[in-house]
C-alpha cells in the first residue's frame, strides 16, 4: 500500500531499487568514498574556513534544517557564504541576491560549490548520500509537494550532495518541474554505475568553476 508524506501518497519504486542489498552497497560506497574525500579535502576545507573567517568573522559553518529520506529532518552543513542575517532568513527565501553574500570569497565558494564540502560529514553520519535528490527546506517541501507532480518521491531515497538534476544544470532559480522529472528518473533508474557517472560529471562541473 502507498505511504504518505505531507498528505501525498508515495508511489512505489521499481522493485530493484527497493532491494536491501542495493541500498547497503550504496551506503558502504558512500561511507568509504566520503571518508576518503574528507581526508583528501581536509587542507582545502581548512583553507576555505580560514578565508571565510577572515572575510566575515566568526561562525564559519552554517547549519540549515532540511528534509531527508522518509521525511526525516536533519541539519545540513555548509560553509557560510551569506551575511549572518541573510543566512537566518534563507529558510524561507528561495534565492539569494549577490548583495547578500558575505563577500568575494563567499561568492567564489558558492559558485564553485566548495561551500558544500562539509556535507561529506552529513554523508558519513547517514543523513545524506553522495548522490541523490538535493534535500530541500521544510517550508518549500510543504509548498512543492502540493504544486509539483511526484515531488514527494524524492523522500523515498537518500538525499544527496549532488544529483542527476544538478549535473544537468538545474540548481538555484531553475525549473522545479524539470528538476523533479530528472530526480524521479534517477529514482526509477538508480544503479551504482549511475551514481559513479553523476559523481564524475559533478567533478567536471566543479573543475570548470561552474558548480554542480
**67 domain residue, yes or no:** yes
In angstroms, rounded to a whole number, what is the distance separating the alpha carbons of residues 175 and 181? 10
**Distance of alpha carbon 122 from the chain centroid:** 10
Q: How does the average pLDDT of the chain come out, rounded? A: 84
State the residue range of the domain holding 89.
3-207
pLDDT value for 78:
95
**49 domain residue, yes or no:** yes
- Can you point out the beta strands (E) in the chain? 3-5, 8-10, 61-67, 73-79, 129-131, 160-162
pLDDT value for 170:
74
Highest mean pLDDT among 57-66, 114-123, 187-196: 114-123
pLDDT value for 131:
97
Query: Can you tell me the mean pLDDT for 8-18?
Result: 51
Percent of the chain's residues with pLDDT above 70: 80
**22 and 30 Cβ atoms separated by less than 8 Å:** no
Domain count, the chain: 1
Q: Copy the grid coordinates of residue 198.
A: 553523476
- For the stretch 17-22, contacts whose Cβ atoms lie closer than 8 Å and that sit 24 or more positions apart, written own/partner, are 17/157, 17/187, 17/188, 17/190, 22/190, 22/192
DSSP, res 117:
T
**212 domain residue, yes or no:** no
**74 domain residue, yes or no:** yes
pLDDT value for 16:
46
| Of residues 3 and 24, more confidently modeled | 24
**132 domain residue, yes or no:** yes
pLDDT value for 98:
64
Query: Can you tell me the mean pLDDT for 45-59?
Result: 90
**131 and 162 Cβ atoms separated by less than 8 Å:** yes
Lowest mean pLDDT among 11-25, 96-110, 166-180: 11-25
**47 domain residue, yes or no:** yes
Q: What is the CA radius of gyration of the chain?
A: 17
Kindly indicate the confidence band of residue 21, based on its pLDDT and cuts at 50, 70 and 90.
confident
**26 domain residue, yes or no:** yes
Dump pLDDT digits (tens) for 142-182.
999 999 988 888 898 999 999 999 999 877 667 888 999 99
pLDDT value for 2:
46
Amino acid at each position: 500500500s502507498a505511504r504518505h508524506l505531507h498528505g501525498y501518497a508515495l508511489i512505489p519504486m521499481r522493485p530493484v531499487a527497493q532491494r536491501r542489498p542495493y541500498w547497503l552497497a550504496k551506503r558502504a560506497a558512500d561511507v568509504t568514498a566520503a571518508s576518503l574525500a574528507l581526508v583528501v579535502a581536509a587542507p582545502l576545507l581548512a583553507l576555505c574556513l580560514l578565508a571565510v573567517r577572515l572575510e566575515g568573522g566568526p561562525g564559519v559553518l552554517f547549519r540549515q534544517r532540511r528534509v531527508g529520506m522518509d521525511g526525516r529532518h536533519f541539519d545540513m552543513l555548509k560553509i557560510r557564504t551569506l551575511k549572518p542575517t541573510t543566512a537566518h532568513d534563507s529558510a524561507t527565501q528561495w534565492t539569494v541576491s549577490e548583495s547578500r553574500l558575505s563577500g568575494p570569497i563567499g561568492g567564489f565558494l558558492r559558485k564553485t560549490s566548495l561551500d558544500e564540502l562539509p556535507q561529506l560529514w552529513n554523508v558519513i553520519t547517514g543523513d545524506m548520500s553522495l548522490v541523490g535528490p538535493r534535500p530541500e527546506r521544510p517550508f518549500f517541501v510543504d509548498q512543492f509537494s502540493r504544486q509539483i507532480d511526484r515531488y514527494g518521491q524524492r523522500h523515498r531515497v537518500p538525499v544527496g550532495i549532488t544529483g542527476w538534476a544538478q549535473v544537468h544544470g538545474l540548481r538555484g532559480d531553475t525549473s522545479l518541474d524539470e528538476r523533479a522529472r530528472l530526480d524521479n528518473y534517477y529514482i526509477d533508474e538508480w544503479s551504482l554505475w549511475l551514481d559513479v557517472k553523476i559523481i564524475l560529471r559533478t567533478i567536471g562541473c566543479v573543475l570548470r568553476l561552474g558548480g554542480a
